[in-house]
Amino acid sequence: MSGYPTASPTNGAGAVSAQIFQAALGIAPPWYVADVVFDEAGKTLNINIDFQRGSRFRIPDVGGDHPVHDTVTKRYRHLNFFQHECFLEVRVPRVKLPDGSVRQVQPEWAGKLSGFTLLFEALVLLLAQQMPFRGVARVTGLSVHRVMAICERYVDLAVAQRDLSEVRQLAIDETSRARGHDYLMIAADAEQRAVIFVTEGKDAATVGQLAEFLTEHGGEPEAIESCSIDMSKAFIKGVGDHLPSAQITFDKFHVIAQASRAVDLTRRAEQKHNADLKGMRWKLLRDPGDLNREARAELNGLLAQLTSLRTARAWLYREQLREILQRKQVHVVRRMLTQWCTNVMRSKVEPMKAVARMIRSHLDGITAWVQSRQTNGFLEALNGLFQAAKRKARGYSRLSTARTVIFLLAGKLDFRTINPHAHA
């Protein structure tokens, strides 16, 4: 281990332990482990790191090696040594630059947030993608606020350096951040299935913010070819105003969801005077292929009353709609949807008439899905994960926290360019 002076340890065992920790930490000259102090009662391990006398240091963006002006002692939380918390106590130099200014050296193991090593921050990031912040805090012994601060810092850095020049298809959806009407707009690269932008609100202006973000990160709003959204008037206007070349696509799952809602509204109204409909809600709403034999038999018994039960007719209309939207010929789908709407409007199933009017108003966007097959399904799944995380955390009072959670769940951010120890 030549090149490593051993300062404080005076016996042979101390020198050997210092060299072992130098190798384990990957510390290279001019840095060296000066002392290792194990506090059994406090269950901590302190590794004191110093630098060789006469060393000169580089500063990013400033040419040359610079002499030490003075030093400050910095303490960095590192990965645990077995069950003991480990800290690096480092004598960090400040160097004098040619222009007379004094700058502090940043050791190569120092993390992006003051007080942590890169390896420790990489562990926090890994855990935060698997469990709530409170769980990470319990595992690491940090406060929840410190865990959140590390994650927010890395998400901000990773999002800032993202290149969006190849994005051509977008998926846009909304989710609630807190109780009431506190909404977030989420935009994703539909091809990569990765969230690229999160902002507060759900009006047309949020799409304008997205267009600005694309431009700032190498993308072009005019280059967006298609955009999958729900049937929100605000999103429709926003896409038309700010993504002028994008073909608006209405995900078929939104259409089927509206039809399922109409089935349920019909059931609610009819079960007030028909006891046979009680307990049938989930059997009517679930995909028939997912029902077990007993549930399917109950559903078939209900559907046999097609001529007398409006709920049965509503269910049949929804299944017809599902079958139509599985077809691939645009002109066939358009013709069949038009006829479906006519049939529904002639019926007495009032809730389903609202679905027919919706389809007539958005026929172009719905049939565009037949060609693009672009779906918001992965954003719907993300919304479920986010809402589950929000419940565990009892809500997110800050936009930055909610944004961080969403990017950790579905941003597919590559933190390795920021921290070589981080996982992709």
Cβ-proximal residues to 287 (8 Å cutoff; 6+ apart), any chain: none
Q: What pLDDT score does 9 carry?
A: 42
Q: Are residues 361 and 403 in the same domain?
A: no
Q: What pLDDT score does 6 carry?
A: 38
Place of tokens 């997205």: 210
Q: Are residues 245 and 256 in the same domain?
A: no
Q: Are residues 269 and 357 in the same domain?
A: yes
Instruction: Name the residue range of residue 92's domain.
Output: 12-110
Cβ-proximal residues to 331 (8 Å cutoff; 6+ apart), any chain: none
Q: Are residues 360 and 385 in the same domain?
A: no
CATH number of the domain encompassing residue 190: 3.30.420.10
* Position 152 in a domain: no
* Position 176 in a domain: yes
Angle at 15 between CA 11 and CA 21, to 5 degrees: 145
Angle at 65 between CA 60 and CA 69, to 5 degrees: 95
Query: Domain count of the chain?
Result: 3
Name the pTM for this structure. Answer: 0.79
Look at residues 163, 162, 166, 167 and name the one whose alpha carbon lies nearest to residue 226. Answer: 167
Q: Are residues 345 and 366 in the same domain?
A: yes
Q: Are residues 267 and 409 in the same domain?
A: no
Q: Are residues 181 and 233 in the same domain?
A: yes
- Tens of pLDDT, residue by residue over 199-250, are 999 899 999 999 999 999 999 999 999 898 888 889 999 999 999 999 888 8
Q: What pLDDT score does 71 carry?
A: 96
Q: Are residues 268 and 317 in the same domain?
A: yes
* Position 164 in a domain: no
| Phi-psi domain of 59 (left: phi exceeds 0; alpha: psi -120 through 50; beta: other) | beta
Among 65, 83, 110, the domain boundary falls at 110
Q: Are residues 265 and 349 in the same domain?
A: yes
CA distance 134 to 132: 5
For residue 414, what are its two tokens? 């590559």
* Position 121 in a domain: no
Helix axis angle, 350-361 to 252-270, nearest 10° = 160
Contact by Cβ (8 Å): 259, 317: yes
Among 110, 126, 141, the domain boundary falls at 110
Q: Are residues 201 and 186 in the same domain?
A: yes
> Which portions of the chain are predicted below pLDDT 50?
1-13
Burial class of residue 8 in the structure, from the number of CB atoms within 10 Å of its CB (0-12 exposed, 13-18 middle, 19+ buried): middle
Q: What pLDDT score does 395 carry?
A: 60
- Tens of pLDDT, residue by residue over 103-146, are 999 999 999 998 999 999 999 999 999 888 999 999 999 999 99
* Position 233 in a domain: yes
Look at residues 415, 418, 401, 414 and name the one whose alpha carbon lies nearest to residue 198. Answer: 401
Q: Are residues 230 and 297 in the same domain?
A: no
Q: Are residues 202 and 101 in the same domain?
A: no
Q: What pLDDT score does 57 carry?
A: 95
Contact by Cβ (8 Å): 225, 204: no
* Position 138 in a domain: no
* Position 4 in a domain: no
Q: What pLDDT score does 5 carry?
A: 40
* Position 135 in a domain: no
